[in-house]
Amino acid sequence: MSVVYLESSAVLAWLFGEPEAPLIRLIIDEADTVLSSPLTAAESRRALIRVAHDGGLDAASSRRLLALLVATEMGWTPIEMTDAVWQRAGQPFPAEPLRTLDALHLAAILQVAGLVADINVVTLDRRVSAAAAGLGLGVLPASSVP
């Protein structure tokens, strides 16, 4: 069984059609289970708002991408942001420095890592990749591992 956790850098690369988009979409499509946290959704929506505000997206494109995101998220399994996640995020990680939201993503993954074997973190963020690898988690795409 293939289980992946989607971190927002990967979701945004897919949404905005960056060069890694086809690979990210393939990883999502081939996964048996796709996990995410409320952070992934919030960060992705905020990015859409920022890009539209800055003139990088017209209103129609912004609505289309938001609809695509919402429809795709329906197939994802959310990870609850428990008190334990918030506590773990405030502790050191194998690769520092990490931004707060990145630490929260990793803490959310760790919450379920003991319950689900072989979780792969789908990210394009090098800091998240390094910390995830240091925690013994798989990282996809492999090219994102420093």
Question: CATH number of the domain that 16 lies in?
Answer: 3.40.50.1010
Residue at 113 is within a domain: yes
Average pLDDT value for residue range 18-43? 94
Q: Does 44 map to a domain?
A: no
Overall pTM surpassing 0.95 (yes/no): no
What is the rounded CA–CA span in Å between residue 42 and residue 61?
18
Buried b / exposed e across 74-88, counting CB within 10 Å, b at 16+? eebeebebeeebeeb
Note the pLDDT tens digit of each residue in 78-107. 999 999 999 999 999 999 999 999 999 999
Does residue 100 fall inside a structural domain?
A: yes
- Which structural domain range is residue 88 located in? 3-39+75-144
Q: Which residue has the higher pLDDT, 142 or 137?
A: 137
pLDDT mean over 31-58: 93
Return the pLDDT at 145: 60
User: What is the band of 12 on the pLDDT scale with cuts at 50, 70, 90?
Assistant: very high
